[in-house]
Amino acid sequence: MSGIPSAWQQAADCLAEAGCETVFGLPTDEPGLLDAADAHPKLRAVGVRGHRAGACMAIGHAVVTSRPVVLALGAGPPFGDAVTALIEADSVCAPIVVVTTRIPADGLGRGGFQDVDQAALATAFTSTYLRVQDAGTLTWALRRAVHMSLNGRPGVSVVEVAQEAIEAAVPAVVPADGPAANGPVRRLRSVPEEPELRRAARLLAAAERPLLLLGGGARAAAAGPAALALAERWGAPVMTTAAGRGTVPENHPMVCGSVGLYATPPLDSVQCGADTVLAVGSRIEETARMGWDTLESVRLVQIDCDPAAFGGGAAEPVAALLGDGEATLARLTPLLPEPSPERTDWLRTVARARRTAWLSWSADGDRAGSPARTALHALAELFPDATTVHDNGMNDIWSYHWPVHQVGPRGRTVVPGEQTMLGFGAGAAPGVALAAEGRPTVVVCGDGGVETGLDALPTAAELGLGIVLVVFDNQGYGWPRLLRQELGAPAGLTRFARPLPVDDVVCGLGGQAESPDGVDEIPAALRRAREAAASGRIALVRIRVPDDDVPPGIRRLFLAGGQAPGDAS
């Protein structure tokens, strides 16, 4: 590793021993951590074209693998460029270790080149900011950062390495009995004490209309089988937050889609009809609460590994169970009695609502000719094993609605969190595809989203990552256009007068792009896209969508009248 400072070589060794496998970043002026990772036999270095794009890729990779991912940054502008995506990483609880540099001490506060108070910027997305002033604390700081990224509430940890520490001589060999000898940093799991579990079980047993709500923490804990076992024992339907999708297969008869903004009529009646909610791995953020007018009056029991989650988004729970989602559900289920006869009417009501939603919104019943929904129905058929990466757009919110888009037993999803940064889908996709394990990676986004995330595509092309981009094109920004039209405000600025030639960029990167002329041609275009992606190429399918094809959650909550076409509620 000639030319690479020994501090960075030691950092690469430490991160590999701690269980990290992938480092994203831009090359720096002088060889740094990315170079050390590239030369390391146990690490994969991924060079990116933008710091924000690299951070998005790190999110996608971390969410899919549930392992810590490293983002290598430089001092000043590189750190600032990544902040938007790191705020998103905090929102989705992605375990990311940011390793950044700091300018020499004699330039701090004196107009030093690229001097920025990075710790102040980082307060928006982390509480773990470790400063390495000398090389002797480097290994400790890195392992500590990995531990903090994985445990408690997973998220972003930052290690700032001073220039003086990089330039200092460090031992070439780490002592055999040093921290690295402990092997990979483990995710610690705990369960509540038995009296707490028994009290919670009594509260749940008293429910007449129970509901099990699964958030992103349940998905990260691989709590799906345990959740279904409890739901069947408790006699409760299952709903998820957007981040919780994929925890359980949505073709299971007790799964009723998502809550809040993404509740599909008439399944919003299920969330609003419940009298007792068991929430697992969810802070019950604003989008989950939207339209859930009865939430403040329900009996709420929460399971979470983070004490701050309890009462953070909704009313204070009657029982707060601090522990791992999967392990706590497994301990709680045997304490529940069999479902009482009083729940029969509730389960029948839920089953009717689920069937009505299926008949109204699935491929079997949806005959409205919506281009977006036609594409999503085709994706369910042609890509049942895909990891779907979502974005923040108006038309692509259809992909959050079950059964318009269904996540089956082989499917996975990656979504932005409460920040919902524009461009997340295309940005995160290469990181997702790196961990694909033979699965297709499909991005569902708008034309604004794909333009914003465009700088991630060269990385995908260079690595031969076959990604399918399903772009719902409304020639601009659909969300602000819709809300401005509702207000009677000017909407001209929401339309692109000169769209970026994204299709040409994709083709220039060795991929393919096509725009089906009508809804009947969409399935064939997606089939061709899958074939292209299987050969390691980017495939873009651009689908023109009208402004009035508004998802039901948006129509119900944001528009006057509120009734969505086909709304049976």
Instruction: Find all residues with CB under 8 Å of 201, minimum gap 6, and list them.
Output: 332, 335, 336
What is the rounded CA–CA span in Å between residue 209 and residue 153? 30
Supply the pLDDT for residue 312: 86
Q: What is the number of helices (H) and of strands (E) in the chain? A: 22, 18
Supply the pLDDT for residue 171: 60
Supply the pLDDT for residue 123: 93
Supply the pLDDT for residue 556: 92
What is the rounded CA–CA span in Å between residue 468 and residue 506? 11
Instruction: Find all residues with CB under 8 Å of 261, minimum gap 6, and list them.
Output: 287, 288, 290, 291, 397, 400, 553, 554, 557
Residues of the chain with CATH 3.40.50.970: 6-182, 362-558
- Over range 65-84, report the average pLDDT: 95
Q: What pairs with residue 428 in β-bridges? A: none
Residue matched to tokens 């990483």: 89
Supply the pLDDT for residue 448: 96
CA 474 to chain centre: 24
The chain-wide mean pLDDT, for the chain, equals: 93
Supply the pLDDT for residue 116: 83
Supply the pLDDT for residue 2: 67
Supply the pLDDT for residue 422: 95
Supply the pLDDT for residue 172: 55
What is the rounded CA–CA span in Å between residue 453 and residue 57? 11
Please give the residue that has the higher pLDDT: either 392 or 234: 234
Eight-state DSSP code of residue 445: E
CATH of domain 6-182: 3.40.50.970
Q: What does the pLDDT look like over 174-208, one tens digit per residue? A: 555 555 568 999 999 999 999 999 999 999 999 99
CA distances from 350 to 235, 361, 405, 488 (A): 11, 16, 20, 39
Whether the pLDDT of residue 450 is over 70: the answer is yes
Q: Which long-range contacts (CB under 8 A, 24 or more apart) does 356-362 make?
A: 356/266, 356/568, 357/256, 357/257, 357/264, 357/265, 357/266, 357/267, 357/402, 357/403, 357/568, 358/403, 360/265, 360/566, 360/568, 361/264, 361/401, 361/402, 361/403, 361/404, 361/566, 362/403, 362/404, 362/406
Please give the residue that has the higher pLDDT: either 93 or 171: 93
Please give the residue that has the higher pLDDT: either 559 or 469: 469
Eight-state DSSP code of residue 399: G
Q: What does the pLDDT look like over 544-569, one tens digit per residue? A: 999 999 999 999 999 876 554 334 32
- Over range 23-30, report the average pLDDT: 94
Instruction: Find all residues with CB under 8 Å of 501, minimum gap 6, and list them.
Output: none
Residue matched to tokens 């089953």: 351
CATH class given for the domain over 362-558: alpha beta
Q: Tokens in use for 8? A: 């960075």
DSSP one-letter string for 216-260:
HHHHHTT-HHHHHHHHHHHT--EEE-TTTTTSS-TTSTTEEEE-G
Q: Which helix (H) or strand (E) holds 203?
A: helix 194-205
Residue 55 banded pLDDT, cuts 50, 70, 90: very high
Eight-state DSSP code of residue 349: H
Supply the pLDDT for residue 315: 81
What is the rounded CA–CA span in Å between residue 347 and residue 349? 5
What is the rounded CA–CA span in Å between residue 230 and residue 253? 14
Q: What does the pLDDT look like over 477-536, one tens digit per residue? A: 999 999 999 999 999 999 999 999 999 999 999 999 999 999 999 999 999 999 999 999
Q: Are strands 319-322 and 299-304 parallel, antiparallel or unpaired?
A: parallel
Supply the pLDDT for residue 553: 93
* C-beta separation of 415 from 388 below 8 A: no
Supply the pLDDT for residue 564: 44
Instruction: Find all residues with CB under 8 Å of 367, minimum gap 6, and list them.
Output: none
Q: Tokens in use for 152? A: 């408690």
* C-beta separation of 394 from 473 below 8 A: no
Residues of the chain with CATH 3.40.50.1220: 194-357
Percentage of residues of the chain with pLDDT beyond 70: 95
What is the rounded CA–CA span in Å between residue 525 and residue 540? 9
CATH fold of 194-357: Rossmann fold (3.40.50)
Supply the pLDDT for residue 304: 97
Helix (H, G, I), strand (E, B) or coil at 346: helix
Whether the pLDDT of residue 100 is over 50: the answer is yes
Q: Tokens in use for 213? A: 């709500």
Whether the pLDDT of residue 125 is over 70: the answer is yes
